[in-house]
Each structure stands twice: as C-alpha cells, then as structure tokens.
Structure 1
Amino acid sequence: MNSSFIGQAAESAVNFLFLHFRGGFDAFSAALGAVVKLLEDGLGAIPFVVVLVALMAVALWRKGVAFAAFGGVALYAIHYMGLWPQTMATLALVIAATFFSLLIGIPLGIWGARNKRVEVILRSLLDLMQTMPAFVYLIPAVILFGLGRVPAVIATIVFAMPPVVRLTTLGIKQVREELMEAGRSFGSTDTQLLWKIQLPNALPSIMAGINQTIMMALSMVVVASMIGAGGLGEYVLSGIQRLDIGIGFEGGLGVVLLAIILDRLTESFGVKSKKKVSRPKASKQAASEPAQTQT
C-alpha cells in the first residue's frame, strides 16, 4: 500500500533530517543515553532496604500511616516477584522523560498564557501530540536515534508533555485579576508578577500537570519496550510474545503498583500547595479578629 502525498512529505522530512543532521542526532543520542544510563545505574545501586525505608518515610509524611504501609507492601511485592531491577530501569526512564517534559513544557505553558498567538499554535500542536497514536512516534524516533533507551525517552516526552503545558497555561490564566492589579499598583514588573503572584497561585494546577505527565510517561513504558526501552514494559512484552499469563500479570502488576505510588505522592504535593496558597487569607482574617474584639 502506497502512502499519499501527506505521508510521502512526512517521510521526506524525516529522511532529510536523517541525511543532513545525522551527526547531531548521534551526539544528542549519546549524551541522552549516558544520562539515562547513569540514572538507571544510580537507582540500581541503591539497596532495596534503603529505598523501602525512604519511600515509607516520605509516604508517612505526605499521606499518613495507611499509605506508608501500602507503599511498603507494594515495594516488597515487586521485590518478591524478582522485578526490582526492571522497576528501577522503568523508574529511570520515567524520571528522565518527566524531567525533560517539565523542562520544555512549563516554559511553553507560561509563554502560551502570556501570548494569545502562541497559545493558539500550542493548542493545535498539543492536540496533535495527544491524539496521534503512540506507536507512530516510534517510527521517526527509531530512524533518527536507533533502538534503545534514547528513542524511548524521546517518544515518551512527546507523549507525556501535553498535560503540563495545558495545565500550566490554565493555572496562570486563572489567577484572579485583582491580584494582578494589586501587584501592578505596587510597581511590580512582568517578571515579578510571574514569580511572585502568577506561579505561586497557579502551583496547584501545575502540580496536577506534573502528576498527569508522570502517569502518561509510565503508561508509555510497554509501548516503548518494543524499541528496546527495557524495564517492566519488556517483561510485559515478553509475556505477550510467549502467551505467558503469569509473566504478563506480574509485569502488569509491577507497573500498576509503581503507578499508584507515584500518583498518590505527586498528588499530595499538589494538595499541600493548594492549602499553602489559601493560607494567607485565613491568617489575615485571624489577625483582624482580635483587633475587632478589642474595639
């Protein structure tokens, strides 16, 4: 089956990039691959007991005793199934993809909130990124970067970035106009308004975007395993290829447990941030009450 003009144009564009910028793509692939490998080796070198204690301590701090117990049981179950190395490889992939998604996505979201034309262009691009099947990302990624972790990270970034861009833009645009006017009346510059008013008040929305980006990055691990990403996705893919229900179930269970832990912890930071944003109002009211009673 021959592709149409649109498909041929896309193929020509990818081939042009591969032929004329191959050296740059190779250098970028080597650098990104070294970062991911270093992150994976670093996580793998941490003893299981240390990770278990650290996770339970953070879970106890953010969510309470019940979730700390659940997190401990979940990690022990992953270790018991022999999936600890694969889990650390998956976590390294998710951390790398999430970091670069936030590094690119949050500034784009801020830019879109402050510029109408940029917002329109970004909205169209994000619609394309979110609706395009994830398998399609793998084709140009493999052509430009080969097989392995690097194309998996690139495809995951494209797939997982849209939520943080959208929710950053939404959070900044929803900052109340009276707060902006108060800042301008005190002579604040646009940069000061951004850092001292817009970003603090948009933080709950931004944290929700970070949470969704992490979840979408984690959902990409099985698809990315088809091009050599490794980790839990490769374990699930092995179960599919062998029609082995046990292997597939264990790999899927490992992904689910890791997703629940990451989701609840990142969600807790968004909730705490929302409380911090609303706390100054309550403190002002409390401070005014004694003065009223004295009069």
Structure 2
Amino acid sequence: MKQTIVIFSDYTEIKKKAGRLYIETPKTKGSVPVTNIDGVLVFGKASITSEALSLCSSNNIPVIFLTTYGLIKGIVLPPYNSSFLYTRLTQVKLNLFNRLEVAKYIVKKKCLEIESTFGLDLEAIQLNIEKIQGFSQLLGIEGYASKLMFNSFSEMLKTTEFTFTERTYNPPPDEVNALLSFVYILGYNLSIGTILIKGFDPYISFLHVKKGAHAAFASDVLEILRPKLTYFVGQLIRENEVLKEDFEKRDNGYFLKKPVLTKILDRFNLMKEKLTNSIKEFLAELEKFKDD
C-alpha cells in the first residue's frame, strides 16, 4: 500500500529533490520517493515549490492544504484521472442501489473496532444487523453499540479527576465532551482529506445524511475511526496529558485552551498513519463492495 503523507505542523517546507519529495518541519526533515506516495495532506501553514507541485501532478498525487484544525484551504489535483471517475461512479451506484447494505457494513466495521479496542463482545449486535430492513432500526443499533463503547470509556476515567456520563455536544457541557469533540473533528478532517485523495466524493454518503456543508461521507468513515479516537481521549486523560486547567468555560460550554492544542496534535500525529491506513482499507473494500 502506498503512503499518504500527513503533516500536522506549521511552517512546513515541501520541495523537490531528485525525484523525491523533501519535507521539512520545525521538528523533522526527510524525503520520500514519489513512487511510494498516493497523496499529501498538509495541516497548518506550509510552503511548496512549483517543482514539487509539478512532480506530484505528473505522478497523479493530489495535494490538499488544510488549516491546523482541518478546514480545507486548497486542493491541487492531478490532470484528469480515469480511475477517479470510476471511483466516483462506483460510489454513486452504491448510493443509489445498495445504500442500506453499505450502511450496515459501516456499522459492522464500527462494532468490530469497538470489540478490538475496548474488549467488548458485540457478536449479538452484529447478528441483528443482518436482519435490519430500514435505516431507523440500523441507527438504533448503532446508537446502542456506541452506548456500550462509551460505558467502557467512562470506566477508563474512574481513577482520574474527570467524569463522563454521556456524549453531548453543541456546546460540550463538560471537559471530557469538549476533548472528544476536538479529537473527533481531527478524525473527521483526516477522513475528508483521505477520501479526496482516493478519488471519492466526501458528500455522497450511506449512513449519515448531508446537511448544508456537512461532508456526510466523512462522517460515515469517522464512525469506523471513532472507537480508536475515543480510546485515544481516554489515554490522554489517564496519562495526565490533558488536565482540568486546560479547559475554559464560555457560552454555556467547555472549550480547550490554545496551549494544550499543540500537545494533543503532537500525540494525534503519532497515530495518523494507523488512522489513514484504516480509512484507505475501508475505501478499497467499498470499491469492491458486493451485496451478499
């Protein structure tokens, strides 16, 4: 599998050096052969030379620029690529004719992730998914699986200064929900970038419904990542990487203070490759999806 270059850093420089992409951040520097790259995601301030862009374009490598918190600033796509067109057509066809079956597959993938991450047994839930005939039933089962996951997550925090009772947001009513929201946003934005790199449309969804500018397919993908991201939040708290003093209350909700964001991004940076590979694995499965 080719590598997706994901950079979470301000003041990144990207250049061409002898058929390789040379990437330098304030903390690291190195080069990667373009033959090993399928896309570049840059979160934060960055400069890239025209020679590096040309190298990416001639090798069908998309480059996507985002803010530190994931808002897309710009997308540089290679010339017309027939494989991208095929991917989009496959996605549209699945949305029109197999939407429920794909949605069920996403929920089953999420259940498997919950099992492997939190050590729960969700076999009975997965068997019930096969019998579902409509979206309301599926969303009910997905919600129940999430509840079991959050119960285990709550147990993780029992020896800390934090407590968690239920997932609530807009605005987050406590520190843990504020941290979950921030980490989920990172996962959502990583999903958008990877979806675009692999030629899919982030708005053509299966489980979630598009509302406004919401990239609903990125939310679909996020459900598969959510168990790992939730456990990651638990680790941050248990290892005292995030403390009560790192939050402030305003507008009837809790929000992270700016100084701790860099620390969270540094830790997230360590798991970005694993998350990106999980997204790419699912997208590859989707291209070959068959309704059994």
Normalised TM-score (structure 2) = 0.29
Larger fraction in helix? 1
Larger fraction in strand: 2
**Highest relative contact order (Cα 8 Å, sep 6+), 1 or 2?**
1
Compute the TM-score of the two structures, normalised by the length of structure 1. 0.28
Structure whose alpha-carbon radius of gyration is higher: 1
